């Protein structure tokens, strides 16, 4: 057991009195030193959200008993919760097509140790980025998609994800739509990058549409994938100014930087267990 490790709880429940008190009392009784606590009340929805992180060093509950003991409080307050340990390394599968900028950026972050995660698997519908996977010693699975093989390839993909024990799927400019059924198997565990400021310019060729409309700012959006294309809960967005001087090609070039930044920030927040999705929105703790 890593003595520097911490645990965190991500909690959501109906708003009511005494929630923070109950949680912090639980931690104190077990000698847990709180490192970070953040809460949010959605007064309209009468919903309460909380993230609390504490040191495991002197905490007097073994890891495998925390959830069980906490359930007593959770049940009383109708909480949904997730328990995470900071020294667990989530296992990421990256899905790509041909554009290399997002995956390049992700691999550089992972390789330099910025991301506390494992990337054992890259899946692509094109062979182009196999050499990149090789450089980093990551398994590359070519799964080309046609109308005919779609179903079969989905099964194979899901099998791979299971075999590799994948926790998080990142669509790094993956040019295929995942089926409803697929999405439902990884709820809030598939992150996509869309190359526009959603909900503006959904669908294909958003930079062309942005140029056509003459906007003065373009953006990128990272969101959890749901069965509604481009409609999932937004995790992070960023924008940049453009002008009449920017051609569609300029937008595409400049946009790449937005895309890789926004995707990286969304993945970071997820890896830190700081994202709570509800009602097609997200609470992103800071």
SS3 198: coil
Considering the rule CB under 8 A, would residue 77 count as an interface residue with a copy of itself? no
SS3 157: helix
Instruction: Specify the stretch interacting with a copy of itself by CB under 8 A; choose among 4-12, 13-21, 80-88, 145-153.
Output: 13-21
Instruction: Report strand pairing: 168-171 vs 91-96.
Output: parallel
Map residues 100-119 to x or -, x wherever contact with a copy of itself holds by CB under 8 A: xx--xx--x--xx-x-----
Considering the rule CB under 8 A, would residue 205 count as an interface residue with a copy of itself? no
Map residues 35-64 to x or -, x wherever contact with a copy of itself holds by CB under 8 A: xxxxxxxxxx----x---------------
Name which of 180, 196, 191, 193 is nearest 224 in CA terms.
191
Query: Of 145 and 175, which CB lies nearer to a copy of itself in the complex structure?
Result: 175
Considering the rule CB under 8 A, would residue 155 count as an interface residue with a copy of itself? no
Peptide bond into 199 cis (omega under 30): yes
Name which of 210, 256, 248, 237 is nearest 98 in CA terms.
256
Cβ 112 to a copy of itself, closest distance in Å? 5
Q: Is 75 a catalytic residue?
A: no
Contact 268, 115 (CB under 8 A): yes
Euclidean distance between the first and final Cα of the chain, in Å? Answer: 27
Residue of 105, 167, 230, 246 marked catalytic: 230
Enclosing H/E stretch for 40: strand 34-42
Considering the rule CB under 8 A, would residue 245 count as an interface residue with a copy of itself? yes
Exactly one of 51, 256, 270, 274 binds a copy of itself (CB under 8 A); that residue is 256
Query: Of 114 and 180, which CB lies nearer to a copy of itself in the complex structure?
Result: 114
How many residues in the shown chain lie near a copy of itself by CB under 8 A?
66
Instruction: Specify the stretch interacting with a copy of itself by CB under 8 A; choose among 86-94, 139-147, 165-173, 192-200.
Output: 192-200
Contact 21, 264 (CB under 8 A): no
Exactly one of 123, 169, 198, 271 binds a copy of itself (CB under 8 A); that residue is 198
Name which of 30, 26, 40, 90 is nearest 60 in CA terms.
30
Structure tokens at 33: 């030193």
Considering the rule CB under 8 A, would residue 137 count as an interface residue with a copy of itself? no
| DSSP one-letter string for 224-273 | E--SSTT-SPEEEEEEEE--TT--HHHHHHHHHHHHHHHHHHHHHHHHTT
Give residues 21-40 in contact with a copy of itself (rule: CB under 8 A): 21, 24-25, 27-28, 31-40
Composition of the chain by helix, strand, coil, percent to 5:
35, 30, 40
Exactly one of 151, 152, 162, 281 binds a copy of itself (CB under 8 A); that residue is 281
Residues known to be catalytic:
230
Q: Which residues bind a copy of itself (CB under 8 A)?
A: 17-18, 20-21, 24-25, 27-28, 31-44, 49, 100-101, 104-105, 108, 111-112, 114, 135, 197-201, 213-217, 219, 233-239, 241, 243-245, 247, 253, 256-257, 261, 264, 280-284, 286
């Amino acid at each position: 057991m890593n003595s520097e490790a911490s645990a965190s709880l991500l909690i959501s429940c109906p708003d009511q009195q005494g929630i923070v008190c109950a949680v912090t009392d639980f931690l104190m009784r077990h000698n847990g030193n709180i490192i970070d606590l953040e809460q949010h009340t959605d007064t309209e929805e009468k919903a309460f959200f909380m993230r609390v992180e504490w040191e495991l060093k002197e905490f007097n509950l073994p890891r495998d008993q925390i959830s069980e003991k906490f359930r007593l409080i959770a049940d009383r307050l109708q909480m949904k919760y997730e328990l995470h340990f900071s020294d667990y390394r989530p296992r990421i599968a990256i899905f790509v097509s041909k554009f290399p900028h997002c995956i390049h950026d992700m691999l550089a972050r992972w390789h330099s140790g910025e991301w506390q995660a494992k990337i054992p698997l890259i899946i692509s519908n094109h062979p182009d980025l196999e050499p990149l996977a090789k450089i980093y010693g990551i398994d590359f699975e070519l799964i080309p998609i046609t109308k005919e093989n779609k179903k079969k390839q989905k099964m194979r993909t899901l099998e791979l994800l299971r075999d590799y024990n994948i926790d998080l799927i990142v669509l790094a400019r993956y040019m295929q739509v995942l089926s409803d059924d697929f999405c439902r198997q990884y709820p809030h565990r598939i992150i996509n990058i869309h190359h526009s400021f959603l909900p503006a310019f959904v669908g294909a060729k958003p930079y062309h549409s942005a140029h056509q409309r003459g906007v003065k700012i373009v953006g990128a959006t990272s969101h959890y994938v749901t069965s509604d294309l481009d409609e999932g809960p937004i995790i992070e967005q960023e924008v940049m100014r453009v002008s009449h001087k920017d051609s569609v090609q300029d937008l595409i070039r400049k946009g790449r930087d937005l895309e890789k930044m926004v995707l990286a920030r969304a993945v970071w927040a997820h890896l830190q267990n700081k994202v709570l999705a509800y009602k097609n929105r997200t609470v992103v703790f800071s």
